[in-house]
Structure 1
Amino acid sequence: MATKHPLEPLARRFLGKHPHQLEPEEIHVLEQMKKRLPVSRDAGDASDEAASFGARLSDRVAEIGGSWAFIIAFTIILLGWMLLNTDVLEHFGLAFDPYPYIFLNLMLSTVAAIQAPVIMMSQNRQSAKDRLAASLDFEVNLRAELEIMRLHEKIDKEIVERLDRILAGLEPKGTV
């Protein structure tokens, strides 16, 4: 005879499924219910625990590159570069990147070529974090629903037992 799965009673009682038909989130919720432990977790913390150095770096680059401080600083640097190479250094014949700023264009292209994939990596990580948050929300909602069902069962059982006691007290003394 096959051994019974430890989650089978809970799986059949609350979800109406065989344990082998359960989704990973459902298994996690039932295991936590069985142990009487909370199921809620912070999605940001769970995602950060699993993040690699590269993933955290891409988040930081996207955070900095998508800020007004970066845009303002970058604009000041570009204008300074142009002013330096057009007026100041050209006056002394020392301009290293005169108009049309070919070296500046190369540098801007290089920055864009590196920054775009890094920002996309960060967006992919954010999408994964959102999927994790949705999964964790599902677990919490499922746990709440199952606990409500468990409470309904307890209340229904108590009501039936109380009604039985009331009816037993009302029965005539000679009846079986």
Structure 2
Amino acid sequence: MSSSPAKPTSQHTSDHFRFHRPLAHLSGPFGNDSFALRAEAFARFFGTPLFLGAQTLIVVLWVGCNMAGLVHFDLYPFILLNLAFSLQSAYAAPLILLAQTRQAARDKAHADADAQHREALAVANETRLAAAALNSQQMLTLLQQNTELTEMTRQLTERIERLTVEMHERFVIHGSAP
């Protein structure tokens, strides 16, 4: 008879995302349709080094080409470039603010879920501690009863031994018959 280690079953595997499932509807800050996904990607792209580098390169080329006379579509004071920046700001600022607001709501929902999980763990721990205290009390009661029974058994054994000695003395040593 060999004892092999128990294989984990589906009951033993942990689902580490089980507490985040109630928050799955918060996954995309703008919703889950195609416009929302593109808008979120656009808002995220604004803070990347790639965006800043590309924008700087475009501005340098724009100003350089117009100042050098290679093109003449936006001469100094670069009103078209200012208009492009204003248009970019008009769309970027609301998208970024919306993304921040939705991220704050998502963070709050995750924090609430974590707090509920910690509270559930605390309640479960208190329940386990109460059960352990009850088991300890029951064990102490059983040990006390066992001690009392052992003492009673010892007393009865001593009494039987005395009675046996008395009977032995009466029947064997004194020779008296009933």
- TM-score (normalizing by structure 2): 0.65
Bigger radius of gyration: 2
- Which residue in 1 is equivalent to 2:45? 64
Number of residues of Structure 1 aligned to a counterpart in Structure 2 = 134
Q: Which letter does structure 2 place at the counterpart of 1:59?
A: E
Superposed CA RMSD in Å reads 2.7
1:1-150 superposed matches below 5 A: 40-41=19-20, 45=24, 47-48=26-27, 52=31, 53=33, 55-90=36-71, 95-150=72-127
Gaps of 5+ in 1: 1-36
Instruction: Assess, with a 3 A threshold, how the Cα gap between structure 1 residues 74 and 50 changes in structure 2: closer, same or farther.
Output: closer
Distance 1:168 1:124 in 2: 66
Indicate the SS of the match to 1:66: coil
Indicate the SS of the match to 1:171: helix
Distance 1:43 1:81 in 2: 49
Q: Which letter does structure 2 place at the counterpart of 1:97?
A: D
Gaps of 5+ in 2: 1-14, 154-178
1:166 to 143, 159, 166: 143
- TM-score (normalizing by structure 1): 0.66
Higher relative contact order (CA 8 A, sep 6+): 1
Indicate the SS of the match to 2:42: helix
Contact map agreement 1:61 1:119 (CA 8 A) in 2 = no
* Alpha-carbon shift at residue 118 of structure 1 (Å): 0.4
* Alpha-carbon shift at residue 101 of structure 1 (Å): 1.0
Instruction: Assess, with a 3 A threshold, how the Cα gap between structure 1 residues 121 and 50 changes in structure 2: closer, same or farther.
Output: closer
Instruction: Assess, with a 3 A threshold, how the Cα gap between structure 1 residues 99 and 43 changes in structure 2: closer, same or farther.
Output: farther
Contact map agreement 2:20 2:113 (CA 8 A) in 1 = yes
